[in-house]
Structure formats: C-alpha cells, structure tokens
Structure 1
Amino acid sequence: MARGRKQDPEDSPSGAGSPEEERDYSVRAVERVCLILNLLQESVDGITLNEVAQTTGLPKSSAFRYLWTLENHRYVERDEEHGLFRLGLGFVGMQSRHLEILRERARPTLESLRDEFGETANLGLLDGDRIIYIEIVESRRGVRLAAARGDHDYLHSTALGKAIAAHLPEDRVRQLLENTGLPARTANTITSIDDYLDELAKVRRVGYAVDNGENEIDGRCVAAPLLATHLPAAISVSGPASRFTMQDVKKVAKTLIDMAAEIATNPVSADLEARKS
C-alpha cells in the first residue's frame, strides 16, 4: 500500500496532527528557527521576509509568524522603513562580534574625547528598558563622574538614554517609559512622558542630548547617537557640573557629533569584511 506524504502542520490550517507528527513538527520548527538565526547572524544589513521564506521553505505567512515570535522575545528587531529584520539584543550578547567590533572601533574615539576634554567618555546601549554602559574611559582627574562597565541607568534621566530614545519609534519609547516609570532622580529630572517626548524632539533637532543634573545632582553629560550602526547606541562625555559647564557642553557636543559619525560609518560591515579577507 502506497504511503502518502506526512503532512507538515505548517501546511495544515489547524496545525493539528498525531503525537508522532507533533514530535516531528517540533524538530522541524527548531531547525527553521536555527536557519533564521543563522541568516541573521551572517547578515549585517538585515534580511527580508522573502529571504526567510526561501531559505526555510515556508510560506511567507508562516515565515512571518516565526519572525514575529522571535521579535516578541527580542531575538529579532524589525526595520519597518526598509522592510528588514535584524538580530535583536535578546540574541546579541555582550561578547557577540557586533558589540565587540563596535567597542573596538569606539575605544580610540573615547580615549581621544577623554584626552581632549579631560572628562569621562562612555559608550552606551539600550538593553531592555534601560541603558547599559558597554565601554568607559575614565577621566584622569581625581574628582570625576564615571559609571562602571556593565552598569545600567535610566532612559529618561541620562544623556545616553535621550540620544538613543530620540531615534526610536514613539510607541516604543512610551512602552519603555511605562515599564520603568520616570522616577525623579533629582529635582531636575523630567518626570512627564509628554515633556520627555518634547525633549526628544529637541535632541533630534540639534543632534545631541544633555543631562543637566537630571541623573545626579552634581553631574552633567552630553551624548550623540551612533545612527548608522543598526544598534541603539550612543557615545557621551560626562563630568562634575561644577567643572563641566554648559558652555563646555556646546563645544563637546560638536566634537561628539563628528566622532559619532566616524564610528557609525557602517563600522560593523567594514570590520567584518576586513576580517574575512
């Protein structure tokens, strides 16, 4: 008696099957997830829904469900403007090649900023609903303002947070702020979502963000986003408010914007290609 092809639950309207079929489906699903993650890991600019469907052999509707689920768990990030999917922060660990390359590229810039202005220079990244410091070059002065690598800070009260949030979709910013609230770190902290969104509009207009005693009463910080890295990242310079004046902030901001542009000129692509050759 001839045997028919065992139906894949992905091809079935209900997705139902026998226990044996369910076990086979589970293995098939894991294989497809691995294929998708491998595609993402190998791609710098991102992959399209069509590429995922072709590689996995899934219908586009099923491929989208896989990507949607991975996005919900932060393993995938969607670029709606360009129709691309990229590796998300749930999968990109602190030692991943993308972050390591970014840190390597940023380190000389941070050292240059520290040497030129005498204050601490930082590289920060959005990690969940907060900012994480992934590289820090501390000021050589005895009195300095410096976090530790791996420390987390709020999105709403830091210059790094503002610089990154200014280039996220508004609905995502609102969700992040709803998760953490807007606690008053100091009397200067912005504690209203609407006021914070107004501040982000200013950041986009001038190209940099300022923490003017909003995270620490005696601290001041200026940050610029790394827009072309495809990572929610920024660099900053921070120091004691008594020494790092608002006039200093304006001067530092111009240098930060220029240096951020140099770091963010597709650094991951350039370095990966160099390592392959």
Structure 2
Amino acid sequence: MGAQDGPTLIASVQRALRLLEAVSAHENGAPAKQLARETGLPLATAYHLLRTLVHDGYVRKLYDGGFILGDKVESLYSAGHAQTLLSRVRPALAALRDELAAATYLTFYEDGEIRVAEIVDGPRTPRVDLWVGFEDAGHATALGKSVLRELDEDARRDYLSRHHLPDLTPRTITSVPELLRRIESSPSASAVTDLEEYALGSVCIAVPVYCGQILGSLGVSLPVERQAQLPEIPASLLPVANRVSRSLSLTI
C-alpha cells in the first residue's frame, strides 16, 4: 500500500457513508444529482459510489432512477439488533456458567432450523466440541430436543421430515417414533437431557426460552462424570431461562 492510499481509502469510505445517510433520508428514493448536492460530492463521484453500493447490495436503484437502501443494510441492522439483544442477556448466561461450573448455551428456532445464538464458556468450563452443527443434530442434543418438545405437532413434523437422524454416538436416538416417545414421555418435566447422545463424555440439560414469539432453549453441558448432578440443575436453570425470556421479549 502506498503512503497516500490510507487517507484516500478513508475518505472514500466517509463519502460512501455520507451517501448512505442521504439515501436513508428519502423513503421513496432520490436521484443521484440530488444525493450529490445534499452530500456536497461531485456528481461523478456520487455516481461511482452509488454504482459500487448498488453492486454490493447496500443501495438499490429504482426504475425511475432514484436510489433507496438495499437489502444488505437491513441485514446489517438485523444482525446488529440481534447482537444488542444478546449483549443484554450475556451477563445472566455468564452467571449461570459460574454458578454451575458448566458451559452455557442459548439456541433459537429460526427459519425452520435450530441454531446456536450464544455460547458462554471458559478455561474451566469448556464447551462441547461442536463437531456436528446443531442444525443437523437437533435430535441428539438437549437443546434441540427441548425445542422439538415445545413445537406444535405440525412444526415438529415439518422439522423431522427435513432432517435425517444421524447416528452420532452409540447412544444417539435415530428412530423418529422413539425420539417422539422420549420427548413426550414426561410432558410435565421442566427439562430435557442429552446423555452422551451428541458427544461421548458429555451430558447436557436444557429448558425452553422465548424471544417474543421465537422459541429457543437454554442449557448447560457437563462432563459425564457429573451426570448425577443433572436432577439438581433445573432449579438454577429455570429462573435464568425466565429472566432471559423476559429480557429478550421486552426489547424486541
């Protein structure tokens, strides 16, 4: 990089951001000449930057020649909003980790998939090796089974129709009827467990959480040597799940 490339690049970024701000002020779109005038940019510079922003999805050009914000900006906003929400519950997850000396996990069921939203672990509380993505292991994790148990019958049937139940360990349930029998066998139970079904040497327990209408689960993982402690954990897990649900639901 040459000596002058840095300042030139910074100036280009600043001009592009000024253009985005100007575009955002016009809900129905504004032409390049107007945007150039409002930002104080030469028309040629505005055209060049607008073409780049359109190409990258940050701006969209309308049929009448006006420019509006593109889908990429909405994606950035959504991601930033999600990060803000998670930042509000992360202290509660960290406190739960420290109280139980166990890695803590938060998942949500979005777009038909069970996805990990947050993991809070530490040197003394390592996470389970996520050697298979949770999207393909909902049947084998307490976090996934907690979500499946809370889904209505149609949503659960839809999920299971789209997901094979791979054999991850000798203890993994790979039969849909058996999986349903297990998760429905104790409807009044507050928590769901995974006893080395996802990874040998690890057990997990999880309870439901909500972000508005979005279902999720909150859980912790333990070495199998601590399996006898599982019945005691819901007493700590449930109050935190309730706080997390309230915090997420009140801020969406």
TM-score, normalization: structure 2? 0.62
SS at match of 1:197: helix
Matches within 5 A, 1:3-42: none
Task: Determine helix, strand or coil for the equivalent of 1:200.
Answer: helix
Aligned residue pair count: 178
Is the 1:158–1:211 contact (alpha carbons within 8 Å) kept by the matching residues of 2? Answer: yes
2:108–2:114 CA contact under 8 A, matched in 1: yes
Partner of 1:271: 251
- Bigger radius of gyration: 2
Contact map agreement 2:103 2:126 (CA 8 A) in 1: no
Per-residue CA deviation, residues 191-244 of structure 1 (Å, 9 max, x unaligned), is: 1212212222246421111011001121111111114632121111012213x3
Output the TM-score relative to the length of structure 1.
0.57
1:268 deviates by: 3.9
- Specify every segment of 5 or more residues in structure 2 that has no aligned partner in the other structure, as ranges: 1-74
Partner of 1:95: 79
Where do 4+ consecutive residues of structure 1 move more than 6 Å?
91-94
Structure 2 residue aligned with 1:180, among 159, 163, 184? 163
One-letter amino acid of the structure 2 residue matched with residue 248 of structure 1:
Q
- Rate the CA distance shift 1:135–1:142 in 2: closer, same or farther, 3 A: closer
1:120 positional shift: 0.5
Quick check: 2:134–2:144 contact (8 Å CA) kept in 1? no
Alignment correspondent of 1:12 = none
Shift of 1:248: 1.3
Partners of 1:116 and 1:180 lie apart in 2 by 35
Q: Using the alignment, how far apart are the partners of 1:177 and 1:138 within structure 2?
A: 30
Secondary structure of residue in 1 paired with 2:115: strand
Task: Give the aligned partner of residue 63 of structure 2.
Answer: none
Which is bigger in relative contact order (C-alpha 8 A, separation at least 6)?
Answer: 2
- Aligned CA RMSD, in angstroms, stands at 2.9
1:180 Cα deviation from its structure 2 partner: 1.3
Return closer, same or farther for 1:251/1:227 CA change in 2, 3 Å cut-off: same
Alpha-carbon distance, 1:93 to partner? 8.3
Pick closer, same or farther for the CA change 1:192–1:92 going to 2, 3 Å: farther
CA distance in 1, matches of 2:224, 2:78: 31
Unaligned runs of 5+ in 1: 1-90, 273-277
What are the superposed Cα offsets for residues 46-70 of structure 1, whole Å, 9 maximum, x if unpaired? xxxxxxxxxxxxxxxxxxxxxxxxx
Deviations 1:152-191 (A, max 9, x none): 4511111110111111112221221121111111111111
The residue correspondences of 1:137-176 to structure 2 (distance < 5 A) are 137-141=120-124, 145=128, 147=130, 152-176=135-159
Q: What CA distance in whole angstroms lies between the structure 2 residues aligned with 1:100 and 1:202?
A: 36
Establish whether residue 257 from structure 1 lines up as the match of residue 241 from structure 2: no
* Residues 1:189 and 2:206 are matched in the alignment: no
Relative to structure 1, is the Cα distance of residues 102 and 210 closer, same or farther in structure 2, using a 3 angstrom cutoff? farther
Structure 1 residues 117 and 96, CA gap change in structure 2 (3 angstroms): same
Percentage of pairs with the same residue: 27
Paired residues of 1:226 and 1:260 also in contact (CA < 8 A): yes
